[in-house]
A and B are shown apart, each in its own frame.
Chain A
């Protein structure tokens, strides 16, 4: 063992109680920061998983980001034209089957057409605004988790009767409908349709489950009063994190607005960034408070060891060597605190993970936690950095003492 390490180890190991308190302080900081990181990232991942599973990864709609140029603009390019009414555009995506055929060879995932429309659902004298999605039961399982999210019925139940409908479970609950109930759907364009509930779906996202209902694509076209209409194509990709780039390529190739799930929920994702900043600030504050303990013990040791410091310097140990003794002492405390904190953090996670949640408002039964070595690494890194800072200040002061002052005072 080197001289510096030997002296440092001797100092901290000969003050068991003080060292134990300092180590416990750092360990508490590390342990709780690991637990917080596991909990925060776990809940974030769980939320994103629900988000990704509940909605298509990419939605291609019959809109364009930039309105197409009007014919007058093309003819009179030099002049600025005001007050013209834009030419009417037929609703829907043109040649949806051809577009799908052109995308499928390179698309890392699946694509399905759908009809998206709004309407009023009427049942037992209750009117509820809903989003009606016309789907293809053959293709749908490839682009959404709807098949797995069905609480009652199956996707093929949509074929069982004419104008069959799958309702979000909270929507059904809101209007009091059950499987087999007969409803009326009405649109703002005046279309009216009688439908029968053949299934109930549950995504876990209240805002979706309260307003969504699914019908066959053909039924959707009838509600929209436009035969052959496809106004939306939904894409599910193998790696949801690549959705943004894939959406951009689809948009470039088709010209239709392609919105990835990240773009659709940009506000939520940016709130995660803020959440993470808050989390790491709190974690940093915990470890900062813990580092005061380290500062305290190193200050105490340097104060108690002033005479030893003086004699070491008079023997010929350089200031740098003396300083490094106390810095290493702080690092020993930080490292020991980190290791004990690992165990504490892991046990806290296990303890939290064991808590059972029984609530009708949430799907989860246990707290979502992420066990990630990165959390342990970051916590240890911050603990060591704060211990280093806490140790360096008194170490620098101790190393700069004038040995003569101490020796004169001691004799």
Chain B
């Protein structure tokens, strides 16, 4: 086990936005995130939390340094290789659900599975149904996003992130646009993904209450990690 590379690693990652006045989003980040971790990225607004998450998720490219996914360097990957890595290894949940409005909940969840093309269509349908049922949305499979509440949509987005059974879920303020009840539900689901399903969840959050219940907390200030503390706590029950 000691030889196993971290699921996600950052080595000297810096991201500078070019412009008349270049803006440094994150600077010199060294980081390793292993299996079955629940990591919070916190910090004040504009500290580079989301930028770091996008870099770790291969949605953005570092200006300096490199990101490794399962030990594989990604700096020289083509756009298609990065897309394929995202499809198989990473699942995304954003603050806004970003479900395709013309498709039903089930069809939205099937989207990454269809893009990957590993399962037959009936198997995809069944898996999408199972994921929705596990998230308490069994009766909402054939509803479109505009027929669901905010919390339900975000749970569908979580199910979509899990569609290809990736080992890592990257969440950018996943409870940011939800009321407190829905927020607790979604957080509990993420917690359960780590505890019961062995996933690694990396979540950007403003909510220090949620951050306090996560296993590890990275704090960013001005694009740099100022603290990286493990904080094993008891998981709250799923409501």
Contact = CB atoms under 8 A, between A and B. Distances in A.
A315 B59 contact: no
A410 B96 contact: yes
A3 B114 contact: yes
Nearest to B161: A315
A316 B86 contact: yes
Contacts of B87: 315-317
Contacts of A311: 94, 98, 100
B111 interface: yes
Contacts, number: 74
B223 interface: no
Contacts of B88: 316
B114 A403 contact: no
A408 B50 contact: yes
Interface string A302-339: 00000110111111111111000000000000000000
A11 interface: yes
Given A307-B98, A314-B57, 12 more contacts: A308-B101, A310-B98, A311-B94, A313-B59, A313-B83, A316-B87, A316-B115, A316-B116, A404-B54, A407-B54, A407-B94, A407-B98
A87 interface: no
Interface in B111-164: 111-112, 114-116, 160, 164
A411 B115 contact: no
Nearest to A321: B115
Interface string B56-98: 0101100000000000000000011001111110101011101
Is the interface on chain A under 10, 10 to 19, 20 to 34, or 35 or more residues?
Answer: 20 to 34
A7 B100 CA distance: 10
8 contacts: A10-B102, A312-B111, A315-B92, A315-B160, A316-B116, A317-B87, A320-B80, A404-B54
Interface residues of B, number: 33
Contact of B103 (A10, A316, A320): A10
A411 B57 contact: no
Of listed B59, B88, B164, residue having the most chain A CB within 10 A: B59
A317 B83 contact: yes
B98 A317 contact: no
Nearest to A2: B114
Nearest to B84: A316
Contact of B100 (A308, A319, A320): A308
B215 interface: no
A196 B86 CA distance: 99
Interface string B12-56: 000000000000000000000000000000000000001000100
B86 A314 contact: yes
A14 B146 CA distance: 15
Interface in A374-411: 402-404, 407-408, 410-411
A319 B173 contact: no
A407 B60 CA distance: 12
Contacts of A10: 102-103
A314 B57 CA distance: 9
Contacts of B103: 10
A316 B89 CA distance: 10
A319 B80 CA distance: 7
Given A404-B59, A404-B60, A408-B50, A315 B102 contact: no
